[in-house]
Structure formats: C-alpha cells, structure tokens
Amino acid sequence: MSERVDLPTLPYMELSPDVAMAPTLLHSLSGANEARRALFAFQPQCVAIEVPRAVRAAFLQGLEELPRVGMIAFKEPKGRSPLVLAMDPCDARIEAARLALENGIRVELVDTLDAGRGETYRSHPDPLALERIGAAAFAEQWMKAMPDVAETTRQKIMAGRIARLAGETRTLVVADVQHTAAFRRLLADRKKAANLPDIDAERELVRLLPMGERLLPLLLGEMPYLTYLYENFRQQASGDEQFEVLPALSEILNKASAQYRDEFDEEVNLTEWRALYQFGRNLSLVRGRLVPGIYELVIASKGCVDDDFGAIALEIAASYPPNQEDQERDPSEDPSRHRSLDLYVDVGEGLDRAEPAYPRPELHTVEFNFKRRRHSQRDRLQWQQDFASQYFFGLGICSWPPEDERIENFFDFLRKRALQSISEDHTTVEEFTSSMLDGLDFRETMRNWHRGRLYVRRERVPPGNVGPVVLVWKDCLLTEQLWRTTLYAENQNESDISVYCAPLGKEMVGPMIARTEYHGILSVFPARGIPDVWTVQELYQWRTSARLLLASAILLCEEKYVAWVAPTPPDRDLVEYARQYNVGIIYLPLASFSRKTLKRLRQVHILGNRQARTWAADYISD
C-alpha cells in the first residue's frame, strides 16, 4: 500500500520584478483551480487577463450575469467573420477576473481584437497534470517540449500592455501556457517592453448574447453539469480551496442513478458500479486523458449498465440549470434549422457564421444510438387520449406477441428449475458397489480419495409436477392504485395470467401502444380460462397483491407444487394455507436470476387493439 504525497507546487512564475504569470490551459477546471491558487499566493494589485481589451464592457457585464453563461460576439465593422468568447466559469481567465473583482483587485484586459484567430490548436497533456505538479513546473515542461518560435505581433502588443501596467502596480498575468516563453523574453526588460506598439481597431461591434443549452457542450471546456457543480462550489469556497473533479463526476453518476431508480424502479448494483468506473478510467487512458470526459462517461454508463442509464447520464451531464430558460431565445441556431456544429451570431450586420475566439480541439459528432424512442409531448398526449378512450369503451386491449413468447419461455424454465431444486433435495450419495446409478459424485469421491473409494448419486424423482408460477418483483397493498387484470391465452402455447402493474396509459410509446411494468404475475398453464382473481372478494383477506396471487395459485393448482419466485420466502400463514390444500410451495429467490433478464421481462407493452400489432414493431425496440 502506498499513499499519495502532495509535493509543494508553485501556481505562478515570475517574469520580472512585480510581474508574475499564471500559465494555464484555457477552458479547464484545473486551470481555474490554479488561477485561484495563483491569485491568493501572489497577492497582486492588478490582474491582466488574456481577453480582448475592446470587449471590456461586455466582459464585465457577462461576469455580473454569471452563473448564467453568456457569450461575447465581436468583430471589426465589415471585417472578417465574428469571433465568440464563452463566459465559461471553468476558464482560468473568467475565474481570475471574478475572484479579483470580489476582492477589490483591479482587472485589465490585454489581448487584441483578433484574439487567437488563425492560430493552430496545440494538443496538451490532461489538465489534471497542471494542478498536480503546479502551473510553474507545467509551463517549464511545456517550453522544453515545444519548439522555440519568434514572438507574434499579438504577443508583443500584450507584453507591451502588461509592461505599462506593471510600471504602476504589482501585476499577475493570467494567460495560456503557450505564451510563457514569449512573455518571459519580452518582459525581461520591462522598459523596452513598455515601448512596444499598441494597435487595435478604432471601432468594434460587440454584443453579449444569451447561450441556449444546445451550445453549452460545444463552447464550454468541461461538461455543462460539471460546470454547474463548480459554480455551486465557488459560492461556498474560501481562500484557495480547490474543486475536486473526480468526486464531482461521481455526483453526476449518483444523480443519474437516483433518476434511473425513480423511472425504472431499478438499482445499479455493485458489480455494475465497479465495471463502470474501471471501464471509464481505462477508456480515458486509451484516449490520452486522466479524467473522463462526457464521451467516456456516457459510453461507460451505456455499456456497463444499459441504454436507459446511459441516456439519463448524458441528459444530466449535458444540462446546465441556470441556462435552461435561454433555450427558447437562443440566437445561435443554424438558419437552415439543421442541427450541426456551426455557430451563427448577429453583432449588428445580420446573422453570420462565427468561430471561437481562441483555438479549440476539433469537434466531432457522435451518435450514441440509445435504444430509447422519444416523441414530442404533443404526440404523447394525443396517444394517451386515444388509448384511454379505447380502453374505457372496452374495445379489446391485447399484448405484444414477442413479449408473450419471451415470458412464456421463462415460465417454462421456472417450472423446470423449481422441479430440479426439489429433486436435489431427494438425491442421496452411496458408495459404489456394482452400478454407477445416476452418475459419479465427484465431491464425495474426492473427500474419500485417500481411502480409494468411489461414490455415486441416486436421484429419486419427487412425485408430482409444478403447476402455477407466481413471479413477483414488488409487493403492493391492494389499496394502491395499480392496473390489475387477468389476461387469457390466445393459443395452446400460452398460459392464463393475472397481473398487477404500474398504472396503464401514463407512458405511451406509440399510437395505441402503452408501456408499463409488471410488479407481479400469476401464470397458470395449460390455460383453462381461470376466473379473474381480482374480483374474488374472499381473496382480499390477504391484504397485498403478491400474497393474493400466491393464495390464488394454491386454489388453482392441480399439481403437487406451486413455484414462488420473489425477493423473500412465502409467509408462514400462506405455507400453512397451502398445506391445507396438500400443495407444496417451492421458493426460488429472485436474486438468483439474471438482473438484465428480469428487467427485460418486466417491461411490457399493452396495445389498444389488435390492429395496433401491425405497426407496433416500429415503436417497440427489442
């Protein structure tokens, strides 16, 4: 066992007397954490930010509107395409500016109007390395790995502005790590740097625009909900306290798990959690990351749990609650209405295609292909009304045959499994004499191997067969508002079943197609037109739906045994009740069966009429 040792790290590097730089990676939580540390460690009187000076008014307004995230769109009149700067709370520049203003420190913007236009994005190690070794050490390693190139005009202008600020006050520069070498050289002689040219456009078109949730995953550096958690953290943080990314990712998954449990009454088990975390970590490492991004998070959730959990995780990770009301007034939609990665803004000269102000990694569209069918709220409401009228007038609901076949096969398997379990109780082991009987018993033979003896099994088939089967996921009081009914076989391969389910008609997946979940089922095979047990008042003495089904199975049993598949064994009073009718109850724990199989069986689609079977396959995913 070994413990992690936190080495002393420096969040800034000195460039000249009274000037320090916090070299950072833009749009990253680790960069924001290091910017916080640098500001409290260096204690500047002025913070110089790598943001265009021309957008100062919009920038300050955008800071005031946080946590609602906006975007600054700007350009020269009749110039090239607009540039867009997202007011990303996880960007080191935004965090440094906010923290400085909250502590009464002067904030100056030193970049040019063209910002990073035309520059190439340079790949870098995972941002987590930035805060693990400190910004100063990270920048030193960066300069060793990158080729030394001449300073650009933009870097000279920024250095000149920084030098003139440093002549007045103690200054901390918050800028991308790629400027470190240039700033170190240019600011070595501060007087010479102060004489560098200062050029900017005379007039600029600048607007602070709202940003709908559609754009958040495209323009924010971190997944939107992680950004939201960071906002919650900084409202309570004190001093240079750091935001921990990995626990925040766990919080997203826990929120997804809670929603998954509410929607599907399913728990993510320990094995799935372990697989999810391990797969997410390994996938991140393969992709050159130390911390999973939204892609790794969703793929791991989808692959290790199921598509429903993956879709919920994606929905949560891509959400940013403070910006939800901006969705309807999103000005950035593609005029063709075609969903794409393009961004359109209007800064005063009409809608124009824009680009990020600073280089970003190339974006790719990923199709997750969740096996979930979503429709508009209007469609679902209409389907509910049509289904309700059909069901109310009793025009003949029916099931979906592929699901009938699947669950009938499972009932057949349960009958055989139940009979096998009591057969094992009737099996005896004997020493081999003249016959192998029903086969060699390896366990007893190995125990007596030193004695040189063989042991064989004698299986005695118990009298009778298994008749009705009761399969229970969740017991419910008879007073609860559920859908209880008895459905009858349509052919010789089906059984008569009595079921209780979640209320019918609330969840619609297509016209005349409702989806619900079994809570419990009684299967009687072969079918013989059993009475509707839910209308027999004498059975209501058993108080709960599952107990009523078991009591009904005992009364309807024409064989020796009833199979009871449930989370807990049958109650003693029901065991005694079965003994009165000379019926045995075979208990099979629900946990002994595959969770995924049980989940697949539990979901059921009810059709409003037989005609709906002709189009049901288009709406029901297998």
208-232 tens-digit pLDDT: 988 877 788 888 888 999 999 999 9
* pLDDT of 544 above 60: yes
pLDDT confidence of residue 427? 66
Provide the pLDDT confidence category of residue 366 given band limits of 50, 70 and 90: confident
Which of 117-131, 284-298, 521-535, 606-620 is the least confident region?
117-131
561 forms bridges with which residues in the sheet?
A: 466, 584
* pLDDT tens, residue by residue, 274-311: 999 999 999 988 888 888 888 899 999 998 988 888 98
pLDDT band at residue 457 under the 50/70/90 scheme? confident
pLDDT tier, 349 (very low <50, low <70, confident <90, very high otherwise): confident
* pLDDT bracket for residue 333 (50, 70, 90): very low
The model's pLDDT over 477-521, given as tens digits with 9 standing for 90+, comes to 998 999 999 999 988 889 999 999 988 888 888 888 888 999 999
What whole-number distance in Å separates Cα of residue 606 and Cα of residue 497? 14
> Where residue 372 falls among pLDDT bands split at 50, 70, 90?
low
Q: Which whole number is the average pLDDT over 14-23? A: 86
Instruction: Tell me: pLDDT of 377 over 70.
Output: no
Contact of 66 with 89, CB cutoff 8 Å = yes
Over residues 117-131, mean pLDDT: 80
- Determine phi and psi for 143, rounding to 5 degrees: -65, -30
pLDDT at 135: 85
Chain segment 307-322, per-residue pLDDT in tens: 888 989 999 999 998 8
Mean pLDDT along residues 169-173: 90
When mean pLDDT is compared over 48-52, 155-159, 340-344, the highest value belongs to 48-52
Spatial neighbors of 136 by CB under 8 A, at least 6 apart, are 9, 10, 11, 12, 13, 23
pLDDT of residue 4: 45
pLDDT value at 329 more than 80: no
Q: Would you say residue 470 has pLDDT above 90?
A: yes
Q: Choose among 469, 457, 523, 463: nearest CA to 496.
A: 523
Strand blocks (E) in 464-593: 466-472, 483-487, 496-501, 508-510, 513-524, 561-566, 584-589
CA–CA dist 168, 569 (Å, integer): 81
- CA 460 – CA 557 distance, rounded (Å): 23
Q: Are 113 and 76 in contact (CB under 8 A)?
A: yes
Q: What is the predicted pLDDT for the residue at 414?
A: 94
Separation CA 398–CA 610 (nearest Å)? 6
Q: Band the pLDDT of 575: cuts 50, 70, 90.
A: very high
Tokens standing for residue 240: 């240079």
What percent of the chain is predicted at pLDDT more than 90? 35
Q: What pTM does this model have? A: 0.66
Spatial distance between the Cα atoms of 105 and 97, rounded to a whole number of angstroms: 9
DSSP lists the bridge partners of residue 498 as 486, 522
Top pLDDT among 167 and 558 is at: 558
The pLDDT > 70 percentage for the chain reads 91
Find the helix or strand (DSSP H, E) in which 171 lies: strand 171-176
Average pLDDT, the chain: 84
Q: Which of 131-140, 186-195, 558-567 has the highest mean pLDDT?
A: 558-567
Q: What is the mean pLDDT of residues 46-60?
A: 92
Maximal CA-CA distance, the chain? 109
Higher pLDDT among residues 269 and 410, named by residue: 410
Q: Alpha-carbon distance 483 to 501, whole Å?
A: 5
